[in-house]
Structure 1
Protein backbone atom coordinates (compact mmCIF):
# COMPACT_ATOMS: atom_id res chain seq x y z
CA UNK A 1 0.00 0.00 0.00
CA UNK A 2 1.28 3.46 -0.87
CA UNK A 3 2.29 5.59 2.08
CA UNK A 4 0.49 8.83 2.82
CA UNK A 5 3.11 11.53 3.39
CA UNK A 6 2.28 15.10 4.42
CA UNK A 7 4.87 17.58 3.15
CA UNK A 8 4.96 20.78 5.21
CA UNK A 9 7.62 22.50 3.12
CA UNK A 10 9.87 25.07 4.79
CA UNK A 11 9.02 25.87 8.41
CA UNK A 12 10.67 28.23 10.89
CA UNK A 13 10.41 29.17 14.54
CA UNK A 14 10.44 26.75 17.45
CA UNK A 15 9.11 23.24 16.80
CA UNK A 16 7.59 21.19 19.61
CA UNK A 17 8.11 17.44 19.24
CA UNK A 18 6.35 14.75 21.27
CA UNK A 19 4.85 11.31 20.98
CA UNK A 20 2.68 8.72 22.70
CA UNK A 21 -0.11 10.79 24.19
CA UNK A 22 -1.71 7.41 25.03
CA UNK A 23 -5.15 8.86 25.91
CA UNK A 24 -3.53 10.89 28.72
CA UNK A 25 -5.70 14.01 28.60
CA UNK A 26 -4.00 15.70 31.56
CA UNK A 27 -0.55 15.43 29.95
CA UNK A 28 -1.86 16.77 26.62
CA UNK A 29 -3.46 19.74 28.39
CA UNK A 30 -0.15 20.50 30.12
CA UNK A 31 1.83 20.24 26.88
CA UNK A 32 -0.59 22.53 25.06
CA UNK A 33 0.06 25.10 27.79
CA UNK A 34 3.81 24.73 27.24
CA UNK A 35 3.34 25.42 23.53
CA UNK A 36 1.29 28.52 24.26
CA UNK A 37 3.83 29.75 26.84
CA UNK A 38 6.69 29.20 24.35
CA UNK A 39 4.74 30.90 21.55
CA UNK A 40 4.87 27.77 19.38
CA UNK A 41 2.11 27.74 16.80
CA UNK A 42 -0.08 24.60 16.55
CA UNK A 43 1.24 23.76 13.08
CA UNK A 44 4.75 23.65 14.60
CA UNK A 45 3.66 21.10 17.23
CA UNK A 46 4.28 17.61 15.85
CA UNK A 47 3.37 14.24 17.37
CA UNK A 48 5.06 10.97 16.38
CA UNK A 49 1.79 9.03 16.76
CA UNK A 50 -0.16 6.93 19.27
CA UNK A 51 -2.48 9.71 20.38
CA UNK A 52 -4.62 6.87 21.75
CA UNK A 53 -3.28 4.30 24.20
CA UNK A 54 -3.04 3.06 27.75
CA UNK A 55 -4.91 5.76 29.70
CA UNK A 56 -8.59 6.34 30.38
CA UNK A 57 -9.69 9.23 28.15
CA UNK A 58 -9.22 8.32 24.47
CA UNK A 59 -12.21 10.27 23.14
CA UNK A 60 -11.46 13.43 25.13
CA UNK A 61 -7.78 13.27 24.12
CA UNK A 62 -8.53 12.98 20.41
CA UNK A 63 -11.04 15.82 20.59
CA UNK A 64 -8.55 18.13 22.36
CA UNK A 65 -5.90 17.24 19.80
CA UNK A 66 -8.33 18.23 17.04
CA UNK A 67 -9.17 21.53 18.74
CA UNK A 68 -5.47 22.31 19.24
CA UNK A 69 -4.79 21.68 15.52
CA UNK A 70 -1.35 20.20 16.19
CA UNK A 71 0.16 17.86 13.59
CA UNK A 72 0.53 14.10 13.99
CA UNK A 73 1.34 11.00 12.03
CA UNK A 74 -0.49 7.71 12.57
CA UNK A 75 1.09 5.43 15.14
CA UNK A 76 0.47 1.71 15.11
CA UNK A 77 -2.55 2.24 17.39
CA UNK A 78 -4.19 4.68 14.98
CA UNK A 79 -3.53 2.34 12.05
CA UNK A 80 -5.16 -0.57 13.88
CA UNK A 81 -8.13 1.52 15.00
CA UNK A 82 -8.91 2.88 11.55
CA UNK A 83 -8.70 -0.64 10.11
CA UNK A 84 -10.99 -2.04 12.82
CA UNK A 85 -8.33 -4.51 13.96
CA UNK A 86 -8.68 -6.50 17.15
CA UNK A 87 -5.25 -5.69 18.59
CA UNK A 88 -3.01 -2.66 18.97
CA UNK A 89 -0.31 -3.78 16.53
CA UNK A 90 2.40 -2.84 19.03
CA UNK A 91 4.52 -5.88 18.08
CA UNK A 92 4.59 -7.18 21.66
CA UNK A 93 5.66 -10.80 22.00
CA UNK A 94 2.57 -13.01 21.93
CA UNK A 95 1.68 -14.17 25.43
CA UNK A 96 3.86 -11.55 27.13
CA UNK A 97 2.63 -9.28 29.92
CA UNK A 98 2.49 -6.31 27.54
CA UNK A 99 0.48 -8.38 25.09
CA UNK A 100 -1.99 -9.33 27.82
CA UNK A 101 -2.31 -5.75 29.03
CA UNK A 102 -2.83 -4.50 25.46
CA UNK A 103 -5.90 -6.69 25.07
CA UNK A 104 -7.47 -4.70 27.93
CA UNK A 105 -6.56 -1.11 27.06
CA UNK A 106 -6.99 -1.47 23.29
CA UNK A 107 -10.50 -2.90 23.62
CA UNK A 108 -11.33 -0.16 26.11
CA UNK A 109 -10.13 2.59 23.74
CA UNK A 110 -11.85 1.03 20.75
CA UNK A 111 -15.17 0.93 22.60
CA UNK A 112 -15.01 4.59 23.63
CA UNK A 113 -14.03 6.36 20.43
CA UNK A 114 -16.79 8.12 18.52
CA UNK A 115 -17.24 8.02 14.75
CA UNK A 116 -16.05 11.63 14.75
CA UNK A 117 -12.80 10.66 16.50
CA UNK A 118 -12.24 7.73 14.15
CA UNK A 119 -12.83 10.01 11.16
CA UNK A 120 -10.05 12.30 12.43
CA UNK A 121 -7.74 9.34 13.06
CA UNK A 122 -8.32 8.24 9.47
CA UNK A 123 -6.92 11.58 8.19
CA UNK A 124 -3.51 11.12 9.83
CA UNK A 125 -0.58 10.61 7.43
CA UNK A 126 1.97 7.82 7.73
CA UNK A 127 4.84 10.33 7.74
CA UNK A 128 5.47 14.06 7.81
CA UNK A 129 8.38 15.78 6.08
CA UNK A 130 9.61 19.35 6.31
CA UNK A 131 12.68 21.50 5.76
CA UNK A 132 14.12 23.20 8.83
CA UNK A 133 17.33 25.15 9.36
CA UNK A 134 18.67 23.82 6.07
CA UNK A 135 17.93 20.20 7.01
CA UNK A 136 15.51 17.70 5.49
CA UNK A 137 13.42 16.17 8.26
CA UNK A 138 11.10 13.16 8.30
CA UNK A 139 8.76 12.06 11.09
CA UNK A 140 8.24 8.31 11.54
CA UNK A 141 6.62 6.23 14.28
CA UNK A 142 8.84 3.17 14.75
CA UNK A 143 10.79 3.40 11.52
CA UNK A 144 10.00 4.28 7.91
CA UNK A 145 9.88 0.60 7.02
CA UNK A 146 7.94 -0.72 10.02
CA UNK A 147 5.54 1.40 12.09
CA UNK A 148 5.88 -1.00 15.03
CA UNK A 149 9.68 -1.36 15.00
CA UNK A 150 11.28 -0.67 18.38
CA UNK A 151 14.37 1.50 17.87
CA UNK A 152 16.33 2.62 20.92
CA UNK A 153 19.52 4.57 21.48
CA UNK A 154 21.43 1.28 21.73
CA UNK A 155 19.96 0.01 18.44
CA UNK A 156 22.87 -0.29 15.96
CA UNK A 157 23.35 2.69 13.69
CA UNK A 158 23.19 0.41 10.66
CA UNK A 159 19.50 -0.19 11.40
CA UNK A 160 18.79 3.51 11.79
CA UNK A 161 20.82 4.65 8.79
CA UNK A 162 18.62 2.97 6.17
CA UNK A 163 15.79 5.35 7.12
CA UNK A 164 17.79 8.42 6.09
CA UNK A 165 18.31 7.15 2.56
CA UNK A 166 14.59 7.00 1.72
CA UNK A 167 14.42 10.65 0.66
CA UNK A 168 17.97 11.64 1.57
CA UNK A 169 16.86 12.96 4.95
CA UNK A 170 19.23 14.67 7.39
CA UNK A 171 17.05 14.23 10.49
CA UNK A 172 14.63 11.50 11.57
CA UNK A 173 12.09 12.26 14.32
CA UNK A 174 10.77 8.97 15.72
CA UNK A 175 8.57 7.57 18.46
CA UNK A 176 7.13 4.21 19.58
CA UNK A 177 9.84 3.00 21.98
CA UNK A 178 8.74 5.29 24.84
CA UNK A 179 12.21 6.57 25.73
CA UNK A 180 13.74 9.94 24.75
CA UNK A 181 17.18 9.92 23.12
CA UNK A 182 19.27 11.35 20.31
CA UNK A 183 21.89 9.63 18.16
CA UNK A 184 24.13 11.54 15.79
CA UNK A 185 26.48 9.92 13.31
CA UNK A 186 27.77 10.43 9.77
CA UNK A 187 26.22 13.90 9.65
CA UNK A 188 22.75 12.48 10.34
CA UNK A 189 20.60 12.92 13.45
CA UNK A 190 17.98 10.58 14.95
CA UNK A 191 15.79 12.19 17.65
CA UNK A 192 13.16 10.50 19.77
CA UNK A 193 11.48 13.22 21.85
CA UNK A 194 9.94 10.64 24.16
CA UNK A 195 6.28 10.26 25.04
CA UNK A 196 3.95 12.32 27.21
CA UNK A 197 1.41 9.63 28.06
CA UNK A 198 3.64 7.43 30.24
CA UNK A 199 6.85 7.98 32.23
CA UNK A 200 10.14 6.89 30.66
CA UNK A 201 10.92 4.06 33.12
CA UNK A 202 13.23 6.50 34.90
CA UNK A 203 11.59 6.54 38.33
CA UNK A 204 9.94 9.94 37.79
CA UNK A 205 6.29 10.78 37.22
CA UNK A 206 7.24 13.51 34.73
CA UNK A 207 7.20 12.76 31.00
CA UNK A 208 9.25 13.93 28.01
CA UNK A 209 9.13 16.12 24.91
CA UNK A 210 11.66 18.09 22.84
CA UNK A 211 11.98 21.48 21.16
CA UNK A 212 13.83 22.22 17.93
CA UNK A 213 15.29 25.67 17.31
CA UNK A 214 16.92 26.77 14.06
CA UNK A 215 19.20 29.79 13.92
CA UNK A 216 21.39 30.89 10.99
CA UNK A 217 21.12 27.49 9.35
CA UNK A 218 22.05 25.64 12.55
CA UNK A 219 19.58 23.14 14.00
CA UNK A 220 19.56 22.83 17.78
CA UNK A 221 17.36 20.65 19.95
CA UNK A 222 16.73 20.09 23.64
CA UNK A 223 14.84 17.42 25.58
CA UNK A 224 12.51 18.63 28.33
CA UNK A 225 10.49 17.04 31.13
CA UNK A 226 6.79 17.80 31.54
CA UNK A 227 4.98 17.91 34.85
CA UNK A 228 1.22 17.40 34.84
CA UNK A 229 -1.63 16.18 37.07
CA UNK A 230 -0.46 12.56 37.03
CA UNK A 231 -2.39 11.70 40.20
CA UNK A 232 -5.66 12.44 38.43
CA UNK A 233 -4.57 10.42 35.39
CA UNK A 234 -3.75 7.42 37.60
CA UNK A 235 -6.99 7.73 39.56
CA UNK A 236 -9.05 7.76 36.36
CA UNK A 237 -7.23 4.62 35.17
CA UNK A 238 -8.13 2.67 38.29
CA UNK A 239 -11.19 0.91 36.93
CA UNK A 240 -11.87 -2.70 36.10
CA UNK A 241 -11.28 -2.23 32.37
CA UNK A 242 -7.67 -1.01 32.38
CA UNK A 243 -4.48 -2.64 33.72
CA UNK A 244 -3.86 -1.48 37.30
CA UNK A 245 -0.14 -1.94 36.63
CA UNK A 246 -0.19 0.97 34.16
CA UNK A 247 -2.05 3.18 36.64
CA UNK A 248 0.76 2.42 39.09
CA UNK A 249 3.46 3.24 36.49
CA UNK A 250 1.94 6.71 36.07
CA UNK A 251 2.74 7.31 39.76
CA UNK A 252 6.06 5.49 40.18
CA UNK A 253 7.68 6.18 36.83
CA UNK A 254 8.74 2.51 36.68
CA UNK A 255 7.46 0.18 33.98
CA UNK A 256 5.80 -3.05 35.08
CA UNK A 257 8.36 -4.98 33.03
CA UNK A 258 11.22 -4.39 30.59
CA UNK A 259 10.45 -7.13 28.08
CA UNK A 260 10.60 -4.79 25.05
CA UNK A 261 13.90 -3.20 26.12
CA UNK A 262 17.41 -4.09 24.99
CA UNK A 263 19.87 -4.96 27.78
CA UNK A 264 21.36 -1.45 27.93
CA UNK A 265 18.03 0.34 28.40
CA UNK A 266 16.70 -2.36 30.71
CA UNK A 267 19.70 -1.92 33.00
CA UNK A 268 18.95 1.80 33.35
CA UNK A 269 15.48 1.26 34.83
CA UNK A 270 14.89 3.75 37.63
CA UNK A 271 18.25 5.48 37.15
CA UNK A 272 16.99 8.44 35.13
CA UNK A 273 17.32 9.18 31.42
CA UNK A 274 20.87 9.31 30.03
CA UNK A 275 20.83 12.00 27.33
Structure 2
Protein backbone atom coordinates (compact mmCIF):
# COMPACT_ATOMS: atom_id res chain seq x y z
CA UNK A 1 0.00 0.00 0.00
CA UNK A 2 1.33 3.44 -0.92
CA UNK A 3 2.20 5.65 2.01
CA UNK A 4 0.38 8.94 2.49
CA UNK A 5 3.02 11.62 3.07
CA UNK A 6 2.13 15.21 3.98
CA UNK A 7 4.74 17.78 2.94
CA UNK A 8 4.66 21.02 4.90
CA UNK A 9 6.56 24.31 5.12
CA UNK A 10 7.45 25.20 8.68
CA UNK A 11 9.71 27.59 10.57
CA UNK A 12 9.92 29.09 14.04
CA UNK A 13 9.41 27.08 17.21
CA UNK A 14 7.85 23.63 16.74
CA UNK A 15 6.21 21.68 19.55
CA UNK A 16 6.65 17.91 19.22
CA UNK A 17 4.76 15.29 21.19
CA UNK A 18 3.35 11.79 20.91
CA UNK A 19 1.09 9.27 22.56
CA UNK A 20 -1.84 11.36 23.74
CA UNK A 21 -3.47 8.01 24.58
CA UNK A 22 -6.98 9.42 25.14
CA UNK A 23 -5.63 11.57 27.99
CA UNK A 24 -7.82 14.65 27.64
CA UNK A 25 -6.36 16.45 30.66
CA UNK A 26 -2.80 16.18 29.30
CA UNK A 27 -3.87 17.40 25.85
CA UNK A 28 -5.67 20.38 27.37
CA UNK A 29 -2.52 21.34 29.29
CA UNK A 30 -0.24 20.92 26.27
CA UNK A 31 -2.54 23.08 24.14
CA UNK A 32 -2.34 25.81 26.78
CA UNK A 33 1.47 25.57 26.80
CA UNK A 34 1.57 26.00 23.03
CA UNK A 35 -0.70 29.03 23.24
CA UNK A 36 1.32 30.57 26.11
CA UNK A 37 4.48 30.21 24.01
CA UNK A 38 2.81 31.59 20.88
CA UNK A 39 3.35 28.32 18.99
CA UNK A 40 0.62 28.05 16.38
CA UNK A 41 -1.40 24.85 15.97
CA UNK A 42 0.26 24.31 12.57
CA UNK A 43 3.62 24.15 14.36
CA UNK A 44 2.46 21.46 16.81
CA UNK A 45 3.15 17.92 15.55
CA UNK A 46 2.12 14.60 17.11
CA UNK A 47 3.92 11.34 16.33
CA UNK A 48 0.66 9.36 16.52
CA UNK A 49 -1.45 7.32 18.95
CA UNK A 50 -3.88 10.12 19.79
CA UNK A 51 -6.10 7.29 21.07
CA UNK A 52 -4.95 4.83 23.72
CA UNK A 53 -5.03 3.72 27.32
CA UNK A 54 -7.02 6.46 29.05
CA UNK A 55 -10.71 7.11 29.56
CA UNK A 56 -11.68 9.84 27.07
CA UNK A 57 -10.91 8.81 23.48
CA UNK A 58 -13.82 10.65 21.87
CA UNK A 59 -13.27 13.90 23.76
CA UNK A 60 -9.53 13.73 23.07
CA UNK A 61 -9.92 13.27 19.32
CA UNK A 62 -12.48 16.06 19.14
CA UNK A 63 -10.23 18.48 21.05
CA UNK A 64 -7.28 17.54 18.84
CA UNK A 65 -9.41 18.20 15.75
CA UNK A 66 -10.65 21.53 17.16
CA UNK A 67 -7.11 22.60 18.07
CA UNK A 68 -5.84 22.02 14.53
CA UNK A 69 -2.48 20.49 15.44
CA UNK A 70 -0.88 18.09 12.99
CA UNK A 71 -0.44 14.37 13.52
CA UNK A 72 0.55 11.25 11.68
CA UNK A 73 -1.29 7.98 12.21
CA UNK A 74 0.11 5.76 14.92
CA UNK A 75 -0.45 2.02 14.99
CA UNK A 76 -3.62 2.56 17.06
CA UNK A 77 -5.10 4.91 14.44
CA UNK A 78 -4.12 2.48 11.68
CA UNK A 79 -5.95 -0.36 13.43
CA UNK A 80 -9.00 1.76 14.26
CA UNK A 81 -9.49 2.97 10.72
CA UNK A 82 -9.24 -0.58 9.43
CA UNK A 83 -11.70 -1.89 12.03
CA UNK A 84 -9.10 -4.31 13.38
CA UNK A 85 -9.67 -6.38 16.51
CA UNK A 86 -6.48 -5.32 18.31
CA UNK A 87 -4.26 -2.28 18.75
CA UNK A 88 -1.40 -3.52 16.58
CA UNK A 89 1.15 -2.53 19.23
CA UNK A 90 3.24 -5.64 18.54
CA UNK A 91 3.05 -6.79 22.16
CA UNK A 92 4.11 -10.39 22.74
CA UNK A 93 1.05 -12.64 22.71
CA UNK A 94 0.01 -13.54 26.24
CA UNK A 95 2.10 -10.77 27.82
CA UNK A 96 0.69 -8.35 30.40
CA UNK A 97 0.63 -5.53 27.85
CA UNK A 98 -1.24 -7.78 25.43
CA UNK A 99 -3.77 -8.59 28.13
CA UNK A 100 -4.25 -4.92 29.00
CA UNK A 101 -4.78 -4.05 25.32
CA UNK A 102 -7.73 -6.45 25.25
CA UNK A 103 -9.41 -4.06 27.67
CA UNK A 104 -8.50 -0.54 26.55
CA UNK A 105 -8.61 -1.06 22.77
CA UNK A 106 -12.24 -2.35 22.59
CA UNK A 107 -13.19 0.39 25.06
CA UNK A 108 -11.73 3.05 22.75
CA UNK A 109 -13.38 1.48 19.71
CA UNK A 110 -16.76 1.60 21.42
CA UNK A 111 -16.45 5.28 22.35
CA UNK A 112 -15.37 6.83 19.05
CA UNK A 113 -17.96 8.55 16.87
CA UNK A 114 -18.08 8.36 13.09
CA UNK A 115 -16.82 11.94 13.05
CA UNK A 116 -13.73 10.97 15.03
CA UNK A 117 -13.10 7.87 12.91
CA UNK A 118 -13.38 9.97 9.76
CA UNK A 119 -10.76 12.35 11.19
CA UNK A 120 -8.47 9.42 12.02
CA UNK A 121 -8.82 8.03 8.51
CA UNK A 122 -7.47 11.27 7.04
CA UNK A 123 -4.24 11.28 9.07
CA UNK A 124 -1.09 10.88 6.94
CA UNK A 125 1.38 8.05 7.48
CA UNK A 126 4.30 10.51 7.57
CA UNK A 127 5.03 14.22 7.59
CA UNK A 128 8.09 15.67 5.88
CA UNK A 129 9.58 19.16 5.95
CA UNK A 130 12.89 21.01 5.80
CA UNK A 131 13.84 22.74 9.03
CA UNK A 132 17.02 24.74 9.70
CA UNK A 133 18.30 23.34 6.41
CA UNK A 134 17.74 19.73 7.46
CA UNK A 135 15.31 17.36 5.77
CA UNK A 136 13.05 15.95 8.48
CA UNK A 137 10.66 12.99 8.50
CA UNK A 138 8.04 12.24 11.14
CA UNK A 139 7.22 8.56 11.58
CA UNK A 140 5.73 6.38 14.31
CA UNK A 141 7.81 3.26 14.98
CA UNK A 142 10.09 3.02 11.95
CA UNK A 143 9.64 3.62 8.24
CA UNK A 144 9.16 -0.07 7.49
CA UNK A 145 7.29 -1.07 10.66
CA UNK A 146 4.87 1.29 12.36
CA UNK A 147 4.96 -0.88 15.51
CA UNK A 148 8.75 -1.21 15.86
CA UNK A 149 10.06 -0.20 19.28
CA UNK A 150 13.16 1.96 18.86
CA UNK A 151 14.88 3.34 21.97
CA UNK A 152 17.95 5.41 22.72
CA UNK A 153 19.91 2.21 23.32
CA UNK A 154 18.77 0.68 20.02
CA UNK A 155 21.94 0.23 17.93
CA UNK A 156 22.56 2.87 15.29
CA UNK A 157 22.64 0.32 12.41
CA UNK A 158 18.94 -0.33 13.14
CA UNK A 159 18.14 3.39 13.03
CA UNK A 160 20.33 4.21 10.03
CA UNK A 161 18.18 2.66 7.23
CA UNK A 162 15.36 5.05 8.16
CA UNK A 163 17.58 8.01 7.27
CA UNK A 164 18.71 6.39 4.05
CA UNK A 165 15.29 5.43 2.68
CA UNK A 166 13.78 8.85 3.53
CA UNK A 167 16.92 10.81 2.57
CA UNK A 168 16.52 12.58 5.90
CA UNK A 169 18.90 14.33 8.29
CA UNK A 170 16.43 14.21 11.18
CA UNK A 171 13.92 11.53 12.17
CA UNK A 172 11.15 12.42 14.63
CA UNK A 173 9.56 9.24 15.95
CA UNK A 174 7.14 7.94 18.54
CA UNK A 175 5.75 4.59 19.75
CA UNK A 176 8.31 3.60 22.40
CA UNK A 177 6.95 5.99 25.05
CA UNK A 178 10.34 7.35 26.20
CA UNK A 179 11.94 10.69 25.25
CA UNK A 180 15.45 10.73 23.81
CA UNK A 181 17.84 12.23 21.28
CA UNK A 182 20.51 10.20 19.50
CA UNK A 183 22.98 11.78 17.05
CA UNK A 184 25.55 9.95 14.94
CA UNK A 185 27.07 10.62 11.53
CA UNK A 186 25.45 14.09 11.44
CA UNK A 187 22.03 12.46 11.66
CA UNK A 188 19.64 12.87 14.60
CA UNK A 189 16.85 10.64 15.87
CA UNK A 190 14.40 12.44 18.15
CA UNK A 191 11.64 10.94 20.25
CA UNK A 192 9.82 13.80 22.02
CA UNK A 193 8.18 11.42 24.48
CA UNK A 194 4.47 10.98 25.09
CA UNK A 195 1.97 13.11 27.01
CA UNK A 196 -0.58 10.41 27.78
CA UNK A 197 1.51 8.31 30.16
CA UNK A 198 4.55 8.95 32.38
CA UNK A 199 7.95 7.86 31.13
CA UNK A 200 8.61 5.17 33.77
CA UNK A 201 10.78 7.68 35.63
CA UNK A 202 8.91 7.64 38.94
CA UNK A 203 7.18 10.96 38.32
CA UNK A 204 3.63 11.59 37.06
CA UNK A 205 4.83 14.36 34.75
CA UNK A 206 4.97 13.69 31.01
CA UNK A 207 7.31 14.73 28.20
CA UNK A 208 7.34 16.78 25.01
CA UNK A 209 10.02 18.58 22.96
CA UNK A 210 10.52 21.91 21.22
CA UNK A 211 12.51 22.52 18.05
CA UNK A 212 13.95 25.96 17.41
CA UNK A 213 15.58 27.25 14.23
CA UNK A 214 16.94 30.52 15.64
CA UNK A 215 20.05 31.63 13.72
CA UNK A 216 19.15 28.90 11.20
CA UNK A 217 20.54 26.27 13.55
CA UNK A 218 18.58 23.27 14.81
CA UNK A 219 18.01 23.27 18.56
CA UNK A 220 16.19 20.46 20.38
CA UNK A 221 15.04 20.69 23.99
CA UNK A 222 12.97 18.18 25.95
CA UNK A 223 10.53 19.41 28.59
CA UNK A 224 8.35 17.88 31.31
CA UNK A 225 4.74 18.84 31.87
CA UNK A 226 2.54 18.59 34.94
CA UNK A 227 -1.21 18.31 34.45
CA UNK A 228 -4.31 17.14 36.34
CA UNK A 229 -3.13 13.52 36.43
CA UNK A 230 -5.25 12.70 39.48
CA UNK A 231 -8.41 13.37 37.47
CA UNK A 232 -7.09 11.28 34.58
CA UNK A 233 -6.44 8.36 36.92
CA UNK A 234 -9.83 8.69 38.60
CA UNK A 235 -11.65 8.63 35.27
CA UNK A 236 -9.74 5.48 34.30
CA UNK A 237 -11.03 3.65 37.37
CA UNK A 238 -14.30 2.79 35.67
CA UNK A 239 -14.14 -1.01 35.78
CA UNK A 240 -13.49 -1.16 32.02
CA UNK A 241 -9.86 -0.12 31.79
CA UNK A 242 -6.72 -1.67 33.35
CA UNK A 243 -6.35 -0.57 36.96
CA UNK A 244 -2.60 -0.91 36.53
CA UNK A 245 -2.54 1.90 33.96
CA UNK A 246 -4.59 4.13 36.24
CA UNK A 247 -1.96 3.48 38.93
CA UNK A 248 0.91 4.29 36.55
CA UNK A 249 -0.63 7.71 35.88
CA UNK A 250 -0.13 8.44 39.61
CA UNK A 251 3.16 6.69 40.37
CA UNK A 252 5.05 7.32 37.15
CA UNK A 253 6.18 3.68 37.19
CA UNK A 254 5.15 1.22 34.49
CA UNK A 255 3.44 -1.98 35.63
CA UNK A 256 6.12 -3.98 33.81
CA UNK A 257 9.12 -3.45 31.55
CA UNK A 258 8.58 -6.37 29.20
CA UNK A 259 8.87 -4.19 26.06
CA UNK A 260 12.06 -2.44 27.21
CA UNK A 261 15.67 -3.28 26.36
CA UNK A 262 17.95 -3.94 29.36
CA UNK A 263 19.34 -0.39 29.48
CA UNK A 264 15.95 1.32 29.62
CA UNK A 265 14.52 -1.34 31.93
CA UNK A 266 17.35 -0.77 34.38
CA UNK A 267 16.58 2.96 34.52
CA UNK A 268 13.04 2.45 35.84
CA UNK A 269 12.31 5.04 38.51
CA UNK A 270 15.72 6.71 38.22
CA UNK A 271 14.72 9.67 36.06
CA UNK A 272 15.46 10.37 32.42
CA UNK A 273 18.24 12.22 30.61
CA UNK A 274 16.93 12.58 27.03
TM-score band by shorter chain is over 0.9
CA distance in 2, matches of 1:69, 1:165: 31
Aligned residue in 2 for 1:164 = 163
Deviation at 1:207, TM superposition (A): 0.1
Unaligned segments of structure 1, at least 5 residues: none
The count of aligned residue pairs is 274
Indicate whether 1:241 and 2:229 are aligned: no
Aligned residue in 1 for 2:48 = 49
- RMSD between aligned alpha carbons? 0.5
TM-score, normalising length from structure 2? 0.99
Dislocated runs of 4+, deviation >4 Å: none
Aligned residue in 1 for 2:147 = 148
Indicate whether 1:193 and 2:192 are aligned: yes
1:195-234 alignment runs, 5 A limit: 195-234=194-233
Indicate whether 1:133 and 2:132 are aligned: yes
Aligned residue in 2 for 1:2 = 2
CA distance in 2, matches of 1:193, 1:274: 12
* Secondary structure of the structure 1 residue equivalent to 2:166: coil
CA distance in 2, matches of 1:3, 1:167: 12
Aligned residue in 1 for 2:76 = 77
CA distance in 1, matches of 2:232, 2:116: 21
* Secondary structure of the structure 1 residue equivalent to 2:188: strand
Deviation at 1:215, TM superposition (A): 1.8
Deviation at 1:242, TM superposition (A): 0.1
Unaligned segments of structure 2, at least 5 residues: none
CA distance in 2, matches of 1:215, 1:179: 26
Cα offsets for 1:37-88 (capped at 9, x unmatched): 1100100000000000000000000000000000000000000000000000
Cα offsets for 1:221-243 (capped at 9, x unmatched): 10000110000000000011100
CA distance in 2, matches of 1:130, 1:39: 21
Deviation at 1:168, TM superposition (A): 1.2
CA distance in 2, matches of 1:260, 1:123: 29
Deviation at 1:11, TM superposition (A): 1.3
* Secondary structure of the structure 2 residue equivalent to 1:216: helix
Aligned residue in 2 for 1:60 = 59
CA distance in 2, matches of 1:181, 1:85: 31
CA distance in 2, matches of 1:167, 1:106: 31
CA distance in 2, matches of 1:266, 1:243: 21
* Secondary structure of the structure 1 residue equivalent to 2:32: helix
